């Protein structure tokens, strides 16, 4: 099967696997981009096409379609941050985030949604960010859609998504058919383990190859440790290779010098690099206000097979509850792909109870509700801190406000699953059981203790920590991603978002990255 | 306070205060091989309990499943952040030492000497403990062990799950 990465490398693309280096080395370019996900990948293509010399750095490895194996036991350790074992500091929320060339775009579920208008309105009101009229992101959404083949999914939803659709239809709730960034998708369902067919239009198969084709250098398996800076300027970036388990190893020193640095390590690793570098932080917001869309899970048993592992993982969502009239925490309803490891580790219980549920694996329909954090004084997100090894750990407090949202989400998901024809529903909570009617579930859910560890919580969207703001007192970067204190630093990734989105982030990040790297290219060439 | 110290205090306080013995130097002195032995000891005791009802019933197959799952856990651990690895190593160490095991489990017997029912009761007591550290230990071990078991295609038959294969797993 065709592997465009292997072909490109054979034809002379410049790639260095830092783990194979044995001596200290220094690299120079016009721009060094740290991270190769939605932000870094998009920026790399635009800057190289503007004629700038570019180096891309990635902590993960350069895996591509002929390496990907449709097995979670390979994909999680090799393609995800912390081997997919990343968690908040108190371990109450599991965090799925990519760590491989292409970042999370290599492993996401392809859902592409424009930034919701209420989110943009909130940014304008709270942070003075104007993305309306001539500043609109709309042209960039359109460009990204063209570049990445984003369009509405024409294939009927798989039974897992169809249940969400049917429940909404029966209850009169809003639902939308999802737009996906795929081209030639075979509807396999393994997006989360790296697309074996290069159908997903991730950064790995689109912008990064374009940048490499235009002469950019990719350095993989390298960990950016610290910026050396003086006054208003970064002088160099210090980095080290990682070992076979992606752990930074100070065996040799790698130095990167550039006119300009673009930080695109994602909303946990980007602030961590700036914290390690002790950069100026007069707003006090660096590493703070980190949002997760904390997600609540509900399982349901259906008479007919659901086989939630097969088919496009996400093709329907419901925004029925995402923008409530009151000030309660809204939530978006979606479904996840149902693969054995993801399910076995998230389902509650152990021994016979757990084994019994696993035996019904193919009849299990699973819903998730993504809480929209960052829009209320009692949902101000978490804080990225550094552990004794200098690695990031996110301290994310679960407030009563969020817990009320968790309860509402359990109720909504159970109601929907019964409306879709479920025989039984089980909120994924230590104290929940299989409920056989909506009335029974409703009463039981109201009594479930709202506490960390009792409720299984997960996140696949990390946002904030280097937030943009029109006012330097309320942000780390401006609307263009330019750092307020360091002149030759831009941040172009999910860490600039000043709240969560209330939608899956990749399309927002593509549009912002396109806009801000266009501006940066003009500035650097100017 | 360093997290490491906090865990030592939280988990081992009972035993160390009662005996005046400090465990810290012993832990610091443990080498990689000793750590593997501690981990294997604990995994061998907990896997048959957590996987009750999931494991194959034929003796030889069951032993094979337990061995391969223990190995899958040990292979996965180095991918975790060093902070999490250290926490798990401490847990394995404490559970393999007589005094702290007594403090943590309330039994003088080793984990492997407890009945499967007692091992499950122990895990449940951690889940429902008022100590956050024990709740974390329960959830951390539970996820780690179940993920390692269900990550193996040999255990998918009962799920009626297969994955497309474009490239052999190595």
Any A CB within 8 A of B2 CB: yes
Cβ distance of A361 and B160 shorter than 8 Å: yes
Q: How far is CA A211 from CA A69, A290, B18, B50, in A?
A: 26, 30, 64, 49
Chain B residues within 8 A of A352 when measuring between CB atoms: 52-53
A505 vs A512: CA distance, rounded Å: 11
Chain A residues within 8 A of B166 when measuring between CB atoms: 1, 66, 68-70, 196
Cβ distance of A82 and B132 shorter than 8 Å: no
- Which residue from B52, B151, B161 is facing A361, i.e. has the nearest CB? B161
Residue B168 pLDDT exceeds 70: no
Bridge pairing between strands A364-371 and A331-334: antiparallel
Q: What is the pLDDT of residues B72-121, one digit of tens each?
A: 999 999 999 999 999 999 999 999 888 778 888 888 888 999 999 999 99
A111 vs B41: CA distance, rounded Å: 44
Give how far B2 is from chain A: nearest CA, Å: 8
The pLDDT value recorded for residue B24 is: 46
Residue B25 pLDDT exceeds 50: no
Q: How would residue B30 be classed by pLDDT, with cut points 50, 70 and 90?
A: low
A406 vs A446: CA distance, rounded Å: 11
Any A CB within 8 A of B112 CB: no
Residues 6+ away with beta carbon under 8 Å from A171: A415, A416, A419
Chain B residues within 8 A of A359 when measuring between CB atoms: 158-159
Token reading at A385: 């801190």
Chain A residues within 8 A of B164 when measuring between CB atoms: 70, 188, 190, 196
- Which residue from B80, B135, B152 is facing A73, i.e. has the nearest CB? B152
Token reading at A156: 């009927």
Cβ distance of A340 and B136 shorter than 8 Å: no
Chain B residues within 8 A of A361 when measuring between CB atoms: 159-161
Chain B residues within 8 A of A341 when measuring between CB atoms: 147, 150-151
A389 vs A384: CA distance, rounded Å: 14
Residue B138 pLDDT exceeds 90: yes
Cβ distance of A90 and B136 shorter than 8 Å: yes
A414 vs A270: CA distance, rounded Å: 37
The pLDDT value recorded for residue A93 is: 98
- Which residue from A74, A351, A356 is facing B49, i.e. has the nearest CB? A351
The pLDDT value recorded for residue B4 is: 43
Any A CB within 8 A of B28 CB: no
The pLDDT value recorded for residue B20 is: 36
Any A CB within 8 A of B3 CB: yes
Any A CB within 8 A of B115 CB: no
Whether the CB-CB separation of A511 and A258 falls below 8 Å is answered with: no
Q: How would residue B8 be classed by pLDDT, with cut points 50, 70 and 90?
A: very low
pTM: 0.95
The pLDDT value recorded for residue A82 is: 97
Any A CB within 8 A of B6 CB: no
Percent of chain B residues topping a pLDDT of 90: 62
Chain A residues within 8 A of B2 when measuring between CB atoms: 388
A218 vs B135: CA distance, rounded Å: 42
Any A CB within 8 A of B99 CB: no
Tracing tokens 């879709």 back to the chain, one arrives at A420
- Return the exposure string of A237-247: e unless at least 16 CB atoms fall within 10 Å of the residue's CB, then b: bbbbbbeebbb
A475 vs A283: CA distance, rounded Å: 6
Q: What is the DSSP letter of A329?
A: P
Residues 6+ away with beta carbon under 8 Å from A31: A47, A52, A53, A54, A55, A258, A259, A260, A261, A262, A524
- Residue A395: phi and psi, rounded to 5, are -90, 110
Give how far B159 is from chain A: nearest CA, Å: 5
| DSSP string computed for A34-86 | E--SHHHHHHHHHHHHTT--EEEE-SS----TTT--S-HHHHHHHHBGGGGT-
Q: What is chain A's pLDDT, residue by residue, as a tens digit (526 residues)?
A: 689 999 999 999 999 999 999 999 999 999 999 999 999 999 999 999 999 999 999 999 999 999 999 999 999 999 999 999 999 999 999 999 999 999 999 999 999 999 999 999 999 999 999 999 999 999 999 999 999 999 999 999 999 999 999 999 999 999 999 999 999 999 999 999 999 999 999 999 999 999 999 999 999 999 999 999 999 999 999 999 999 999 999 999 999 999 999 999 999 999 999 999 999 999 999 999 999 999 999 999 999 999 999 999 999 999 999 999 999 999 999 999 999 999 999 999 999 999 999 999 999 999 999 999 999 999 999 999 999 999 999 999 999 999 999 999 999 999 999 999 999 999 999 999 999 999 999 999 999 999 999 999 999 999 999 999 999 999 999 999 999 999 999 999 999 999 999 999 999 999 999 999 999 999 999 8
Give how far A48 is from chain B: nearest CA, Å: 33
Listed in sequence order, the DSSP H helices in A94-200 are 117-127, 138-147, 159-171
**Which of A310, A348, A351, A353 best probes binding to B when mutated, by most B CB atoms within 10 angstroms?**
A351
User: Which residue from A minimizes the CA distance to B119?
Assistant: A351
Give how far B55 is from chain A: nearest CA, Å: 9
The pLDDT value recorded for residue B97 is: 86
What mean pLDDT do residues B4-20 have? Answer: 43
The pLDDT value recorded for residue B28 is: 53
User: Which residue from A minimizes the CA distance to B155?
Assistant: A340
Cβ distance of B147 and A345 shorter than 8 Å: yes
Average pLDDT, chain B: 84
Q: How many residue contacts between A and B have a Cβ separation below 8 Å?
A: 137
- Return the exposure string of B146-158: e unless at least 16 CB atoms fall within 10 Å of the residue's CB, then b: bbbbbbbeebbee
Give how far A362 is from chain B: nearest CA, Å: 7
Bridge pairing between strands A331-334 and A179-181: unpaired
Chain A residues within 8 A of B53 when measuring between CB atoms: 351-356
Chain B residues within 8 A of A74 when measuring between CB atoms: 169
Residues 6+ away with beta carbon under 8 Å from A351: B49, B50, B51, B52, B53, B120
The pLDDT value recorded for residue B9 is: 42
């Amino acid at each position: 099967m065709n592997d465009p990465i292997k072909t490109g490398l054979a034809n002379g693309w410049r790639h260095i696997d830092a783990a194979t280096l044995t001596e200290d080395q220094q690299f120079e370019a016009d721009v060094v981009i740290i991270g190769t996900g939605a932000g870094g990948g998009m920026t790399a293509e635009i800057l190289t096409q503007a004629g700038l010399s570019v180096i891309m750095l990635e902590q993960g490895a350069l895996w591509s379609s002929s390496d990907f194996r449709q097995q979670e036991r390979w994909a999680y350790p090799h393609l995800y941050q912390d081997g997919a074992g990343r968690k908040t500091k108190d371990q109450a929320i599991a965090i799925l985030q990519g760590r491989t060339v292409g970042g999370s775009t290599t492993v996401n579920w392809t859902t592409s949604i424009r930034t919701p208008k209420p989110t943009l309105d909130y940014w304008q009101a709270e942070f003075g960010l104007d993305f309306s009229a001539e500043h609109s992101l709309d042209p960039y959404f359109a460009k990204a859609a063209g570049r990445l083949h984003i369009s509405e999914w024409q294939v009927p939803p798989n039974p897992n998504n169809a249940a969400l659709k049917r429940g909404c239809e029966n209850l009169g709730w809003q639902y939308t058919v999802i737009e996906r960034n795929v081209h030639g998708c075979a509807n396999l369902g393994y997006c989360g383990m790296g697309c074996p067919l290069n159908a997903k239009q991730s950064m790995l198969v689109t912008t990064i190859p374009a940048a490499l084709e235009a002469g950019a250098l990719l350095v993989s398996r390298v960990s950016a440790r610290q910026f050396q800076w003086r006054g208003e300027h970064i002088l160099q970036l210090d980095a080290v290779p990682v070992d076979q388990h992606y752990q930074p190893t100070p065996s040799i020193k790698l130095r990167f010098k550039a006119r300009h640095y673009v930080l695109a390590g994602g909303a946990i690793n980007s602030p961590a690099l700036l914290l390690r570098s002790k950069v100026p932080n007069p707003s006090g917001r660096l590493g703070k206000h980190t949002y997760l869309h904390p997600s609540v899970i509900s399982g349901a048993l259906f008479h007919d097979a659901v086989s939630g592992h097969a088919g496009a993982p996400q093709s329907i969502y419901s925004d029925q509850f995402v923008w409530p009239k009151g000030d309660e925490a809204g939530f978006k309803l979606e479904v996840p792909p149902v693969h054995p490891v993801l399910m076995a580790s998230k389902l509650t219980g152990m021994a016979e109870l757990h084994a019994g549920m696993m035996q019904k694996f193919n009849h299990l329909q699973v819903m998730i509700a993504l809480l929209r954090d960052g829009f209320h004084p009692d949902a101000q997100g978490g804080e990225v801190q550094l552990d004794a090894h200098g690695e990031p750990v996110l301290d994310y407090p679960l407030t009563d406000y969020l817990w009320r949202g968790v309860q509402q989400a359990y109720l909504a998901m159970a109601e929907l699953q019964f409306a879709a024809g479920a025989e039984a529903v089980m909120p994924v909570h230590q104290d929940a059981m299989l409920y056989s009617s909506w009335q029974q579930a409703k009463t039981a859910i109201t009594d479930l203790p709202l506490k960390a560890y009792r409720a299984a919580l997960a996140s696949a969207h990390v946002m904030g920590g280097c937030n943009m703001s029109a006012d330097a007192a309320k942000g780390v970067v401006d609307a263009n991603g330019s750092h307020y204190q360091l002149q030759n630093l831009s941040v172009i990734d999910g860490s600039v978002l000043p709240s969560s989105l209330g939608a899956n982030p990749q399309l927002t990040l593509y549009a912002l990255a396109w806009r801000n790297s266009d501006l940066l290219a003009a500035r650097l060439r100017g | 306070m360093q997290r490491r110290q906090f865990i030592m205090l939280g988990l081992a306080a009972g035993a160390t205060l009662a005996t005046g013995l400090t465990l810290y130097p012993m832990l610091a002195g443990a080498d990689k091989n000793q750590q593997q032995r501690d981990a294997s000891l604990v995994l061998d005791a907990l896997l048959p309990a957590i996987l009750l009802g999931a494991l194959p019933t034929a003796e030889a197959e069951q032993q094979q499943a337990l061995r391969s799952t223990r190995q899958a856990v040990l292979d996965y651990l180095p991918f975790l952040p060093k902070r999490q690895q250290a926490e798990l190593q401490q847990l394995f160490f404490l559970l393999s030492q007589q005094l702290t095991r007594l403090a943590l489990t309330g039994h003088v017997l080793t984990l492997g000497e407890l009945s499967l029912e007692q091992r499950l009761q122990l895990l449940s007591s951690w889940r429902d403990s008022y100590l956050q550290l024990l709740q974390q230990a329960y959830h951390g071990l539970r996820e780690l062990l179940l993920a390692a078991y269900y990550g193996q295609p040999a255990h998918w038959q009962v799920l009626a799950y297969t994955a497309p294969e474009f490239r052999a797993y190595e």
